[in-house]
Amino acid sequence: MSDWTIQATKILSRLDGHRSSRKMRDTIIGIVSAKTEGKTVVQYFASGNPVVSKQGFEKWMLIPEFKAVFDEVESLAYNTMDREALKSLRTARRALTHAAGIAVAELVRIVRSSDDVKIRLSAANSILDRVSFEALKDEEGAGGMERRAIINSDTMAALIAAAMSQRGNLVSDDADA
């Protein structure tokens, strides 16, 4: 049983007073399960052994309580699927984010250490091609990410200045030797 079918038990119990409550419950679970798998109601009735005919189901759908329970269970199933899909997407995003960090580190290593200028240039361009400066800006234009972009720019300027000053020191040290 999937997660939503367990949660649906309480909703389905509202049918308990009806003489066909067991068949109604089984039909709702069967149809909603089929629909969450991408099948139509017609396909559900055409495949397997449904506990009631399509005409019987259509007749039950005219009963307000049955229709309300069916709609609520169907909504629960789709909402559960949406939550599960979002969870999967978040997991995938975390994995990609982690992998992206590793990939960038490797590209930076290549930019810094390759003897071949073409390879260094290609790695540098790969990094720059994938940087989204627009993503660093807030939609509203103030605060949050834009503030971090300013800090990043300042930090980058400081790093460049430090590198330039170290480069100058290294050159003068070599000249003295």
Report yes or no: 124 and 111 within 8 Å, Cβ to Cβ.
Answer: yes
- Give the per-residue pLDDT at 49: 78
Report the alpha-carbon distance of residue 36 to residue 82 in Å, rounded: 11
Is the pLDDT higher at 147 or at 100? 100
Instruction: Give the separation between CA 150 and CA 136, rounded to whole angstroms.
Output: 9
Instruction: List pLDDT tens digits, range 6-64.
Output: 889 999 999 998 999 999 999 999 999 888 888 888 899 998 778 899 999 999 999 99
pLDDT of 83 higher than 70:
yes
Rounded Cα distance between 43 and 31, Å, is 9
pLDDT tens track for 101-143: 788 888 888 889 989 888 888 888 887 777 765 555 554 455 5
pLDDT score recorded for residue 160: 64
C-alpha 131, offset from chain centre = 21
Separation CA 60–CA 126 (nearest Å): 61
Is pTM beyond 0.85 here?
no
Which residue ranges make up each domain of the chain?
A: 3-85, 142-177
> Which has more confidence, 75 or 170?
75
DSSP state of 135: G
Give the C-alpha separation, 22 to 161, whole Å.
76
Q: Round to whole Å and give the CA distance between 148 and 91.
A: 25
| Amino acid residing at 30 | G
